[in-house]
């Protein structure tokens, strides 16, 4: 058997932690000297310690850990539960990363508040274009809500077009409109330019739409992931206001370059003007 210090060293934990686990009945020593009170642990108890640490690090409270261990789950059942909890943590980490990106974008907007993108904005006409598209609703126009909706839409759109033997004839064009039910939700249109006037095969779910021409649009190029779009879109808004223009609706987002790394994306925003 091991002293508490030796067992702590082999388990890569502190003796203080082991004493706490003993006090709450989570991991009792194999033997406690009735005279000295010294605790002694057996090597097989490392298995229980590993389970406790793994469950705790996955977010379980010590009370929950005790209940799990009390059910005496076998290795396969424990692994299944840990994998499920790990997936939840990974999802939470991904959501936190998106929030951090959003915070960074807002900070950049704050830093750029006094700057007008004079040479970066071009007013030009935008011709009508035929697109194939899929649509879905996002809870808001914020990147944290649009991103998780639009990317799966594009994956599905390109998959359906490929299955129908249709090749895109131009860049992806995302555009938006307020959802009929209001509440800040938006209808997300994931579209790509095509030349076909009809799609082969019934029931594909892909719609063909002709986006109308924009007589005048204020345009600006955004470089990087769309999660960081806020500083660019707000710079465009400041320019529109400073030069006496009026916006006529949501900006279209035209993908000019789309490498695997989102930091290399190049997107033109085309905001219609009255």
Query: What is the spatial distance between Cα 8 and Cα 18, in angstroms, rounded to a whole number?
Result: 7
Closest CA to 143 of 267, 240, 274: 267
The conformation of residue 140, written as its DSSP 8-state character, comes to S
| Average pLDDT of span 126-149 | 92
Look at 182 and 211; give whichever has higher pLDDT: 211
pLDDT of amino acid 201: 65
pLDDT of amino acid 79: 78
Query: What is the spatial distance between Cα 141 and Cα 145, in angstroms, rounded to a whole number?
Result: 7
Q: Give the number of C-alpha atoms closer than 13 A to the C-alpha of residue 22, restricted to the C-beta side.
A: 19
Look at 199 and 9; give whichever has higher pLDDT: 9
Question: Per-residue pLDDT tens for 82-127?
Answer: 787 788 888 888 777 777 776 776 676 666 666 667 678 999 999 9
pLDDT of amino acid 55: 84
| Average pLDDT of span 170-195 | 93
The phi-psi region of residue 165 (left if phi > 0; otherwise alpha if psi is between -120 and 50; otherwise beta) is left
Q: Is the pLDDT of residue 138 over 60?
A: yes
Distant-in-sequence, close-in-space partners of 267: CB < 8 Å, separation ≥ 6: 221, 222, 223, 226, 229, 253, 254, 255, 256
| Average pLDDT of span 270-274 | 95
pLDDT of amino acid 253: 96
Q: Is the pLDDT of residue 203 over 60?
A: no
H-type helices in 29-176, by residue range? 45-57, 62-70, 75-111, 143-163
Question: Per-residue pLDDT tens for 186-196?
Answer: 999 999 999 98
pLDDT of amino acid 109: 62
Q: Is the pLDDT of residue 202 over 70?
A: no
pLDDT of amino acid 90: 84
DSSP string spanning 209-252?
EEEPPEEEEEEEEEES-GGG-HHHHHHHHHHHHHTT--B-SPPE
Question: Per-residue pLDDT tens for 22-42?
Answer: 999 999 999 999 999 999 999
How confident is the prediction for the chain on average, in pLDDT?
87
Parallel, antiparallel, or unpaired for β 39-41 and 31-32? antiparallel
Q: Which two tokens stand for residue 117?
A: 């993108």
CA distances from 34 to 17, 26, 27, 39, 40 (A): 21, 20, 18, 10, 12
pLDDT of amino acid 153: 95
Q: Which residue's structure tokens are 């879905």?
A: 136
């Amino acid at each position: 058997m091991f002293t508490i210090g030796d067992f702590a060293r082999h388990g890569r934990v502190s003796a203080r932690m082991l004493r706490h686990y003993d006090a709450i009945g989570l991991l009792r020593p194999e033997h406690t000297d009735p005279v000295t009170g010294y605790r002694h642990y057996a090597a097989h108890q490392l298995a229980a310690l590993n389970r406790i640490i793994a469950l705790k690090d996955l977010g379980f409270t010590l009370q929950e850990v005790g209940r799990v261990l009390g059910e005496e789950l076998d290795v396969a059942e424990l692994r299944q539960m840990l994998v499920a909890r790990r997936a939840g943590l990974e999802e939470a980490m991904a959501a936190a990363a998106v929030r951090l990106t959003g915070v960074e974008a807002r900070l950049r907007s704050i830093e750029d508040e006094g700057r007008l993108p004079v040479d970066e904005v071009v007013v030009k006409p935008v011709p009508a274009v035929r697109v194939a598209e899929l649509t879905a609703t996002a809870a808001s126009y914020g990147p944290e809500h649009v991103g998780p909706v639009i990317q799966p839409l594009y994956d599905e759109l390109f998959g359906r077009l490929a299955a129908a033997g249709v090749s895109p004839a131009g860049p992806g064009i995302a555009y938006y409109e307020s959802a009929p039910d209001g509440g800040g939700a938006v209808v997300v249109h994931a579209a790509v330019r095509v030349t076909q006037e009809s799609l082969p095969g019934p029931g594909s779910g892909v719609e063909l739409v002709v986006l109308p021409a924009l007589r005048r649009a204020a345009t600006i190029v955004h470089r990087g992931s769309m999660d960081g779009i806020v500083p660019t879109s707000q710079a465009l808004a400041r320019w529109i206001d400073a030069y006496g223009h009026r916006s006529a609706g949501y900006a279209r987002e035209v993908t000019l370059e789309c490498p695997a790394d989102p930091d290399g994306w190049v997107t033109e925003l085309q905001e219609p003007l009255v």
